Amino acid sequence: MVAMGGGEEFPQRGKSDRELLLFTAPHKEGDVDQIVAEIQKEFTNLDVEFVQPGSDGKTQVPKELYQRANYLTTFTWLPPNASEVPDLKFIQFLSAGVNHIANHPIYTDSKIPLLSANGVHGPQIAEWVVMMYLVHNHKYVALYEQQKQKLWKPETGKDVTDSPGKTVGILGYGSIGRQVARVAKAMGMNVLAYTASPRPTPESRRDDGFIVPGTGDPDGSFPSAWYSGLDKESLHEFLKQKIDLLVLAVPLTKTTTHFLSAAEFEVLNQSNPAGTYVVNISRGPVIDQPQLVKALNEKLIGGAALDVTDPEPLPKDDPLWDTPNVLITPHISGSTSAYSTRATQVLQENLRRLRDGKKLINEVDRDKGY
């Protein structure tokens, strides 16, 4: 444990009017020090405490420490319930979603604001999406296999598909989808956006969350058309638009579980017989995985790139591993050396907003689940 901010290692409640920011997320020495120093310079009444996971990977936070906390930054660790943290003003998660704690008493039985790190993943995940799409379209897997065999066969890399004039359909037009749109537009692609609720006005299409400078689609100007709805009829209308690249970037909820299944793969095939390329960077259960395997085997879609599966880790005997035209990575598309810095900047912004009486960014709607 590293104590920052001076004073006792565990200042006791009632002995000080200073506030406490508690970090329980794994971090490397130096990766957030600059941002934390900026926070402490701006909030002079704030102590900061770091609690690192033990060698077993579990986080053990002393009760006397978390009971005094005013702000908590975490990936997964939470106090037992809200009564144990009477002074907690918000919880800043370092993950894009909070479905992993949806059954915890803090989620179900409290009104403590839960804030996600939505917005920090856009650049790196968009690059992963485009990388996989280009690997598929330019037949790089086959070319790499030739390299390993020291074969020179130019015909393998001919008749590739490039991007201008193609259509990317982004199912879930949040921060990740918006950065995919920015890169796709630069490649000459047409962008279609799909959201849970209608976005009929310019104001409703704005991104009010955290945005990495120079990225995304802050004013929602990239899509040529917007679609919306949580019913299958609305989804099918979107999928009928001859989509070449379909990017799944929706949160996992009861409604979006198996959002893509047999009927949806049939719609994609009918609208684009050449084969839609499906990319999932949301959560594995958003796709009905056995039906995905069937769609790939029957060539109803052109291929799939999956950074998430159902379940995770994907068992070695799962048929998905050996399904043709699928690329699988172990849930790493959101990784970047800049992650901790960006996520702590979200925390910094929310501290400012709470102080200034403004609306917090990325606050989770418990009823919606995101």
Q: Which CATH class is domain 2-120+336-355?
A: alpha beta
Residues whose CB is less than 8 angstroms from the CB of residue 329 and which lie 6 or more positions away in sequence, other chains included: 128, 305, 306, 307
Q: Which of 182, 199, 283, 342 is catalytic?
A: 283
Residue 6 has pLDDT above 50, yes or no: no
Per-residue confidence band for 20, with pLDDT thresholds at 50, 70 and 90: very high
With a pLDDT cut of 70, the percent of the chain lying above it is 95
> What pLDDT shows up at residue 16?
61
Q: For 76-132, how does the pLDDT look when each residue is reduced to its tens digit (9 = 90+)? A: 999 999 999 999 999 999 988 888 899 999 999 999 999 999 999 999 999 999 999
38-44 CB contacts, 8 Å cutoff, 24+ apart: 38/348, 39/344, 39/347, 39/348, 39/351, 40/4, 40/5, 42/348, 42/351, 42/352, 43/19, 43/351, 43/355
Task: Work out the number of other CB atoms within 10 angstroms of the CB of residue 42.
Answer: 12
Q: For 269-310, how does the pLDDT look when each residue is reduced to its tens digit (9 = 90+)? A: 999 999 999 999 999 999 999 999 999 999 999 999 999 999
CA atoms within 13 A on the CB side of 245: 33
> What pLDDT shows up at residue 75?
92
Q: Is 283 a catalytic residue?
A: yes
Q: Is 331 a catalytic residue?
A: yes
> What pLDDT shows up at residue 2?
40
> What pLDDT shows up at residue 96?
80
Q: Which of 104, 138, 258, 331 is catalytic?
A: 331
Query: Given this chain, do its domains 2-120+336-355 and 122-328 carry the same CATH topology?
Result: yes
Q: Is 366 a catalytic residue?
A: no
Beta bridge partners of 169: 192, 246
> What does the pLDDT average to over 138-162?
96
Q: For 24-83, how does the pLDDT look when each residue is reduced to its tens digit (9 = 90+)? A: 987 776 778 899 999 999 999 999 999 988 878 889 999 999 999 999 999 999 999 999
pLDDT, mean over the chain: 93
> What does the pLDDT average to over 7-22?
64
The domain at 122-328 falls in which architecture? 3-Layer(aba) Sandwich (3.40)
Q: Which of 8, 42, 203, 312 is catalytic?
A: 312
Q: What are the sequence ranges of the domains in the chain?
A: 2-120+336-355, 122-328
> What pLDDT shows up at residue 28?
73
- Cβ atoms of 316 and 341 within 8 Å: the answer is no
Please report where in the chains the tokens 């949301």 appear, as a residue: 282
Cα separation, 117 vs 306, in Å, equals: 22
Per-residue confidence band for 348, with pLDDT thresholds at 50, 70 and 90: very high
> What pLDDT shows up at residue 359?
96
